[in-house]
Amino acid sequence: MTHRFLPLALAAALFPSCFAQSAPDPAEKPLTALPYSPSLDPADMDRTADPCVDFYQYVCGGWMKNNPIPPDEASWDIYAKLEQENRQFLWGILEEDAKLTDRTPAQQKIGDYYAACMNTDAINARGLAPLQPELDRIAAIRDRKQLAAFLREGADQRGLYFFNAGAEPDPKNAGMMIVGIEVGGLGLPDRDYYTKTDAKSQATRQKFVEYMAHLLVLSGEPQAQADQDAAATMKIETALASASLTRVERRDPYNVYHPMKIGAVDALAPALELGAYLNQENVPESILANVDVAQPKFLAALQAELAAEPLDNLRAYLRVHALNAAAPSLSSNFEDARFEFYSKYLRGVPQMPARWKRCEGQIDRFLGEALGQEFVARNFSPATKQKVIVMTDQIEQAMQQEIENLDWMSPATKQAAIAKLHVVQNKIGYPDKWRDYSSLNIERNDYFGNVERAHVFNDKRDWAKVGKPVDRNEWFMSPPTVNAYYDPQMNNINFPAGVLQPPLYDPKEDDAPNYGDTGGTIGHELTHGFDDEGRQFDGQGNLRDWWTPADAKGFEDRINCQREQYANFVIVDDIHINSKLTSGEDVADLGGTLLAYLAWKKQTAGMNLEPKDDFTPDQRFFIGYAQWACENERPENLRVNAITDPHSPGKYRVNGIVADLPQFAQAFSCKAGQPMVNAKACKVW
C-alpha cells in the first residue's frame, strides 16, 4: 500500500555558527561516468577462510577489511557503494543542469531545485521565518473544532501530523483506488521504542525528549516550557504507539484491512472530522462507503487523545512535529540537532552527509522521474534491459517448474499459483511513460517554497487517483534507485536502472555471477508473491485466500523451519534475529537463489564452461550471489535494524541460505557436519 506520510525530516536551524558543519570529503566529486567494479572480484575475498565453515567471510572478508564505514554512514555495503557512485553521477548532472541556460523543462526543475537547496547562505538568512506562519496557526488554535480544521487546511503542504491518509488499491478490488487511513505521528523509529522497558530503551526515550525540547528552544521557547512541552509530546506519542500493531502483526494483511463507511470512521474518531477532510479532497461519494482503516484501535486511541488531552499539550505536539517536518527547508541548527539524535545517537554515525547528498536525495524524492530521465539517457543501455528481461523470463519458468514438482501443494493450489505467476508484470529499468511535472513550479531562489510546492504537487497527484482504476504502470522507486521491490496489490516486480549496474549486474562478466547476483534478486522478488504476505493476494492483487488449509499448513511448516534456524543467529550483543519479522525476506533469499541457479543451469545447458579465477562455474555462481551482501555495520545501527528491518544481516543472508542448498555443498565439496551444511535443510520452493 502507498500512503503519503509526514516525515520527521532532516532538521534545520537558526544559528549555524553554533554547530560544526560536515567537512567535505576530498574523495567525493561529481562524476561524468560511473566507475567500473566487476560483479565477481577475487580481491574482495578472504582465501584463508574455509568456505564450508564461514562462506560469508570467505567471499567478503577482503571487502570488509578494505571498505570501512564512511563517517557519514550508519553502514556500508555493496549496494550503498553503488548508490554512492550513482549519486555522485547524479550530482554531476545536477551541477550541469543548474548552470545551463538552454534547458529542457526537466533540467530546469531539477537544476533550479538543486541551486536553491545548495544556497545555504540564503536559507540560513531566512532562519525560522518560512515556518512562522504555520507556528502562528498552531498558536491560534483555541478549541478542538479549530484543531480539526487546522489539520485539514494545510494537509497538502505538510501532512496530517497524527496519522496518514491517501490513495491505495482496494484490497478486495485491486483494480480500483480507494482511501486508506494509516497510523503515524511517532518520532521514534518504531512503536517498540515506546513500549520496551529495558535500560537502553528508557535511555533512548529520555534522549528523544531532550531532543524535542532542544528543537523548541531553538524555535524560541524558554527551556522550562520546552521541557514541559516535550514531555507532553512524549506522553501523546506513547499512547499512540501503545495502540499500534507490531511490525510482525502488520505482516498479516488482514490485520491492516478494515473497510468502513465514512460515517463509521467519523463515529470512531469524531475529533478528526475525516468526512469533511475527504470532501475537501473531492473524494467521490461512492468511495466514501469503502474507506480502509488500517488500525481502528490506533484511530480510537487518537480520538481519546484529541478529546481528553489538554489543548496546550496538543499544540505542543503540533509545534514539535511542525519543526521536524519543515527542518530541511529552514536554517542549519535544527539539522544539526536532528543529526545528533537520529544519526549520531541512534545509529552511531559520526559525521553529517555533505550538503549535495541531502539535496540530491530530496530531488530524487520529489522529482525522481525527471532526474531519472537524465540518468537513463546517459547510463542504461537497451541491451542490458533486454538481457534482464530474458533472465526474468527464465527465472519465472524455473518457478513454474518448481511449483509443478512440489510434493506438499495440492493440484488446485498449484493451478492457482501458476495462474498468478503467469500474470506477474515485469518492470525493468524505467517507466514506459515519464511523470509529468509541468504543473510543479520550481524557483531558483525559493527553497522553502519549492519544498512546499513539491508536497502539494504530490498530495494532489495522490488524491486524484481515488475513485479511478489502478495505474499498474506506475513506479514507486525512481530509476536511479539501487533497490528492487515486489508489489502484492499490483502483482509486479520492479527493477530500476540503478540496481542493474556493475557490480550487481555486469555486462562484461559471464552468466554465472550475473545470475547469482541479479538473478538471485529477481528470484527473491518473484517469490515475494508467494510468501507469508504475498500468497494472500491473488494474481489480480485482491486479498483472497486461494490456498487450501492443508497447503497453507504445508507452507507454514516449511517457513517455520527457516524461522527456527534464523532465531538462533545473533545480530549484536545478545540480540537475536526476530525471525517472525524477517521470515518473508529469508524465504525469498532461499527461494530466489535456487530459482536463479536453475535458470542459470538452463541458460548454460550444453555449454563447455571453463573455470575462471581458479573457481568452477558453480562456485562462481555462488560467489556472485554472496558478494552482493558484503557489508560493515555500526553496532548502534544493528540494534535499530533488529527492531525495524525485515531483512536479516548480510552475513546470515549468505550463510543461512547456502547452508540449506545441497547445490552449494556439492560446488565446494562441503561435508556433513560442517557449519555450511545444515543437518536439517529447509526448502520451500
Question: 380 with 500: CB under 8 angstroms?
Answer: yes
**Nearest CA to 169 among 290, 299, 251?**
290
User: Of the ranges 22-26, 220-224, 404-408, which one carries the lowest mean pLDDT score?
Assistant: 22-26
229 domain-assigned: yes
Strand 492-496 and strand 485-487: the pairing is antiparallel
Q: Residue 218 sits in a domain of what CATH number?
A: 1.10.1380.10
Distance CA 208, CA 210 (A): 5
Q: Do 498 and 612 sit in the same domain of this protein? A: yes
* SS3 assignment, position 107: helix
Q: Which amino acid is at 236?
A: I
Distance CA 507, CA 607 (A): 19
486 domain-assigned: yes
**Nearest CA to 474 among 434, 423, 437?**
434
Distance CA 259, CA 632 (A): 43
Mean per-residue pLDDT for 142-170?
A: 96
Q: Do 489 and 422 sit in the same domain of this protein? A: yes
Distances in Å between the Cα of 239 and the Cα atoms of 23, 255, 576 are 40, 20, 28
pLDDT at 271: 97
Q: Do 316 and 233 sit in the same domain of this protein? A: yes
Q: Do 285 and 175 sit in the same domain of this protein? A: yes
Reported as a single tens digit per residue, the pLDDT across 48-72 is: 999 999 999 999 999 999 999 999 9
Reported as a single tens digit per residue, the pLDDT across 419-441 is: 999 999 999 999 999 999 999 99
Go through 90-120 and write b for each residue having 16 or more CB atoms within 10 A of its CB, e for each that does not.
bbbbbbbbbeeeebeebbbbbbbbbbbbbeb
Residue 604 in grid coordinates: 548454460
pLDDT at residue 492 above 50? Answer: yes
Distance CA 601, CA 597 (A): 6
Q: Which residues are 76's β-sheet partners?
A: 632
pLDDT at 472: 95
Q: Do 479 and 587 sit in the same domain of this protein? A: yes
Distance CA 492, CA 351 (A): 38
Contacts of 606 (CB under 8 A, 6+ apart): none
pLDDT at 197: 96
Q: Do 523 and 407 sit in the same domain of this protein? A: yes
Residue 385 in grid coordinates: 534491459
Distance CA 181, CA 272 (A): 12
Residue 398 in grid coordinates: 524455473
Query: pTM here?
Result: 0.92
60 domain-assigned: no
Q: What domain count does the chain have?
A: 2
Distance CA 181, CA 548 (A): 31
Mean per-residue pLDDT for 535-563?
A: 95
> Residue 612: CA atoms inside 13 Å, Cβ hemisphere, count?
17
Q: Do 267 and 409 sit in the same domain of this protein? A: no
Distance CA 513, CA 41 (A): 10
pLDDT at 27: 66
Mean per-residue pLDDT of the chain = 93
* SS3 assignment, position 646: coil
**Nearest CA to 389 among 519, 289, 275, 566?**
519
Q: Residue 518 sits in a domain of what CATH number?
A: 3.40.390.10
Distances in Å between the Cα of 36 and the Cα atoms of 82, 90, 471 are 10, 16, 36
User: What's the distance, CA 630 to chain centroid?
Assistant: 19
Distance CA 379, CA 273 (A): 49
SS3 content of the chain, % helix, strand, coil (to 5): 55, 10, 35
Location of C-alpha cell 558484503: 630
Question: 429 with 518: CB under 8 angstroms?
Answer: no
pLDDT at residue 2 above 50? Answer: no
Domain, as residue range, for 275: 162-330
Reported as a single tens digit per residue, the pLDDT across 379-405 is: 999 999 999 999 999 999 999 999 999
pLDDT at 28: 84
Angle at 270 between CA 268 and CA 271, to 5 degrees: 125
Residue 630 in grid coordinates: 558484503
Distance CA 374, CA 388 (A): 21
Q: Do 481 and 400 sit in the same domain of this protein? A: yes
pLDDT at residue 331 above 90? Answer: no
Q: Do 186 and 302 sit in the same domain of this protein? A: yes
Mean per-residue pLDDT for 395-417?
A: 96
pLDDT at 151: 96
Mean per-residue pLDDT for 571-596?
A: 96
Q: Do 171 and 310 sit in the same domain of this protein? A: yes
pLDDT at 1: 31
DSSP string covering 511-560? HHHHIIIIIHHHHHHHHGGGSTTGGGB-TTS-B---S-HHHHHHHHHHHH
Distances in Å between the Cα of 660 and the Cα atoms of 185, 520, 655 are 41, 15, 9
Contacts of 199 (CB under 8 A, 6+ apart): none
pLDDT band at residue 26 using 50, 70 and 90 as cut-offs: low
Location of C-alpha cell 553554533: 18
pLDDT at 30: 94
**Nearest CA to 211 among 117, 306, 334, 122?**
334
Distance CA 355, CA 338 (A): 15
Residue 130 in grid coordinates: 518560512
Report the chain's terminal Cα–Cα distance, integer Å.
26
DSSP code at position 469: B
pLDDT at 543: 97
> Could you tell me what percent of the chain has a pLDDT over 70?
96
pLDDT at residue 625 above 90? Answer: yes
Q: Do 315 and 409 sit in the same domain of this protein? A: no
User: Of the ranges 4-18, 27-41, 192-206, 606-620, which one carries the lowest mean pLDDT score?
Assistant: 4-18
410 domain-assigned: yes
86 domain-assigned: no
Q: What is the CA radius of gyration of the chain?
A: 25
Stronger pLDDT, 532 or 255, i.e. the higher one: 255
pLDDT band at residue 92 using 50, 70 and 90 as cut-offs: very high
624 domain-assigned: yes
pLDDT at residue 5 above 70? Answer: no
Distance CA 575, CA 570 (A): 6
pLDDT band at residue 18 using 50, 70 and 90 as cut-offs: very low
- Number of Cβ within 10 Å of residue 593's Cβ equals 29
Q: Do 425 and 498 sit in the same domain of this protein? A: yes
Spell out the alpha helix ranges (H) of 260-381.
262-268, 274-280, 296-308, 311-326, 332-338, 346-347, 355-366, 368-379
pLDDT band at residue 206 using 50, 70 and 90 as cut-offs: very high
DSSP code at position 343: I
458 domain-assigned: no
96 domain-assigned: no
Location of C-alpha cell 555486462: 507
Contacts of 666 (CB under 8 A, 6+ apart): 618
Element (H, E) at 252: none
